[in-house]
């Protein structure tokens, strides 16, 4: 598989793990990396939360020695606060990404995420601020605007402002996370830019992975929902056997314990994602667990039942 170069960063392959809320914690990122992800991302975190709360800053940049290269994704509408955020976390990350695509009502009402696509001048200022704050690679993640020409215009502005790469979710804001992907428009974005373009959306297996690359000619592919509870997808799209959901669950919990990610509430959310692909499991028992030790015991029981 070809390598992918984003600014000064050279990745081993074209596969990236998307930033996902309550999913891409350090243990899950490491598990996806073991399965073939070349670059992983933290979940989106607002710059104001990072700057105001040291605990949030620590959580946003929590990583492990094996989890590199990895990117920190931030959201902000204020260039000066974005600069401060990146400078605070610069030593932690290998790359910084700004979220310009989150379609949630709460995010849009705050004037961040996909709401910024309606303000291209502000987007340009934010990318300029990121470039001013660091010499490390910077990227942006967008969704497709409702008008095709707007997609090309905003993408070109992002490139001209100094971004080293662009990820395009091939759906509009109104589509959310469902509906058909517009790979033809992503292909036009790719044709317009000289920086690497990464497609997000429409990949569920090796066949769709190859189709997306063939159709868009993108430099890389970012996996999101298809990886939730299924980190083995990173191996599968390369034609290799991926880790099973039950083995993934056990290994995920081992990583949580080994690397000190002990936020039980968040861990249980990921456990339930794994369990959704495992038949005849008692999700209620996992929901009631209060410690990592209890969760590991339950996971061992699930594995034993699957083996018998």
Q: What is the set of active-site residues? A: 102
Query: Residue 154: how many CB atoms within 10 A of its CB?
Result: 24
Task: Give the contacts of 90 (CB within 8 A, at least 6 positions apart).
Answer: 133, 134, 136
Asked if residues 31 and 227 have their Cβ atoms less than 8 Å apart, the reply is no
DSSP element (H, E) containing 167: strand 165-172
- Alpha-carbon gap, residue 117 to 114, rounded angstroms: 5
Q: Kindly report the backbone phi and psi dihedral angles of residue 301, in degrees, each rounded to the nearest multiple of 5, phi listed first.
A: -65, -40
- Alpha-carbon gap, residue 212 to 201, rounded angstroms: 9
- Alpha-carbon gap, residue 176 to 101, rounded angstroms: 10
Tokens coding 185: 């428009």
Asked if residues 41 and 17 have their Cβ atoms less than 8 Å apart, the reply is yes
Tokens coding 285: 């028992």
Contacts 24+ apart (CB under 8 A), 144-151: 144/168, 144/169, 144/170, 144/171, 144/172, 144/182, 144/185, 144/186, 145/117, 145/172, 145/173, 146/172, 146/173, 146/174, 148/185, 148/188, 150/117, 151/185, 151/188, 151/189
Handedness of CA 185, 238, 99, 195 (dihedral sign): negative
- Alpha-carbon gap, residue 298 to 278, rounded angstroms: 13
Distance from chain centroid for Cα 151: 21
């Amino acid at each position: 598989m070809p390598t992918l170069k984003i600014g000064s960063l050279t990745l081993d392959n074209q596969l990236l793990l998307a930033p996902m809320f309550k999913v891409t914690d350090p243990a899950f990122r490491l598990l996806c990396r073991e399965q073939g992800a070349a670059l992983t991302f933290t979940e989106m975190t607002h710059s104001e939360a990072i700057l105001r709360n040291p605990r949030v800053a620590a959580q946003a940049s929590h990583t492990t020695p094996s989890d590199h290269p990895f990117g920190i994704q931030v959201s902000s509408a204020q260039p000066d606060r974005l600069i401060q955020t990146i400078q605070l976390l610069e030593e932690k990350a290998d790359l910084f990404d700004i979220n310009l695509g989150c379609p949630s009502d709460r995010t849009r009402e705050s004037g961040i995420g996909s709401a910024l696509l309606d303000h291209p001048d502000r987007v340009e200022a934010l990318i300029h601020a990121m470039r001013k704050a660091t010499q490390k690679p910077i990227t942006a993640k967008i969704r497709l605007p409702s008008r095709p020409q707007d997609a090309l215009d905003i993408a070109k502005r992002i490139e001209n402002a100094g971004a080293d790469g662009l990820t395009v979710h091939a759906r509009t804001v109104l589509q959310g996370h469902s509906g058909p992907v517009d790979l033809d428009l992503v292909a036009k974005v790719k044709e317009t830019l000289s920086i690497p373009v990464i497609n997000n959306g429409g990949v569920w297996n090796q066949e769709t992975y190859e189709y997306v690359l063939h159709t868009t000619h993108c430099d890389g592919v970012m996996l999101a929902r298809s990886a939730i509870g299924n980190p083995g997808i990173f191996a599968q799209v390369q034609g290799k056997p991926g880790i099973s959901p039950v083995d993934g669950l056990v290994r995920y919990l081992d990583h949580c314990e080994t690397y000190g990610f002990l936020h039980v509430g968040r861990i249980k959310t990921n456990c339930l994602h794994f369990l959704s692909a495992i038949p005849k499991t008692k999700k209620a028992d996992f929901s009631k667990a209060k410690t990592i030790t209890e969760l590991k015991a339950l996971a061992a029981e699930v594995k034993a039942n699957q083996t018998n």
